[in-house]
Structure 1
Amino acid sequence: MSGKGDGRQRVALPERRQPAVLVVRTERPAHITVLVDQPQGRRPRGYQLHSADGPVVARIPLSRGGGRREAGFRLEFRDGVRVRWSASAEPPDAVPEFDVHTGGQGFDVVRYRGTAGPGVLRHRGRGTVVLQALDDELAEWATLGEGLGDCDIAVTWPGPGYYQVRAHGAWILTREAGG
């Protein structure tokens, strides 16, 4: 699905009975909020996506709660500046993998393939940054670290798995040498 507007949209979840991610892409730099509908009528959850130096490409975990076959969402563009975008629900193998380091801007989901041990979340930007471990259903499981503004946060990787970064700036995740 693609568009230039910011009305309510729906995407079909992959057929397999596994979690999914909403992959959002823009054709050029943008700052958008994606409001994802939650199961059982709970309030939509907001995800800040942005990129200052290239198109946005970010993943958002989607709940399968209640046997849902599709997920609803809405895009809101910062300062009314709209850009062309596309969004699709994809299986978890759409999540980029890393074992030593990876980076991004704003919100994203990544898959750590390394071993348990020490690591660092480096954030450059305003506002808060949070690193969370996700469970096998891509639901939030544990907060590994959080900070504010420009910061380097020591974290301990529980091991291979899915993780989400909630940030307002650029970030880098690394596994420390020997970890």
Structure 2
Amino acid sequence: MELGSNGPCRYFGLHFESRLHATWAAFFDHLGWHYEYRPFGPRGWAPTFSLIGASTVLVGVEPELKPTPAARLLASGSSRVAGHRGDILLLGTGLGSIRAGGIALGAIAEWCGGDYGWGDAVPHVGGGIGFCHDSLSYRNRMTGFHDGDRGAGDGEERFVEAWRAARRAALIADRAADGRVRRPPW
């Protein structure tokens, strides 16, 4: 089964719709981020996760390398209609890259007084590992830390390490046939 396949997968006792979803869960676990799988969301769009940090971020996982414009429009349009004014994070089949040559977690939408402003979600180490918008608020979405752009863009090596570990963990968890709940390997 490929990483982005639609086959179900078990990861530490939880049932995920695909290995890709389980891999993102393992990534969040590796970084110590709290999440909920398949939370309810705005009508018309069903988030894959909600990340619970300094604020709650609705997260969608797309089976594409980078989230498509159509996915951005659906997530932000449904959220706007539902009255959701929090951040939205769209993830793809892995870590992406940004124009400046760094890495991106995915695409992030921040509410900007009437609509969502989209950009890249880049690593942020202020107050602990997290992420921020690359051009709007540099606030670390997981810790709440904000001091201008200090800490923004730092921590790429932690993201890469966490992604490698997550891919291994999801593969190992998927192959475990006995169904026992295990602790993450880190």
| TM-score tier after normalising by the smaller chain length | under 0.3
In proportion to residue count, which structure has more strand? 1
Q: Which has the higher contact order (CA 8 A, sep 6+)?
A: 1
Q: TM-score, normalised by structure 1?
A: 0.27
| Structure with higher helix content | 2
TM normalised by structure 2 equals 0.26
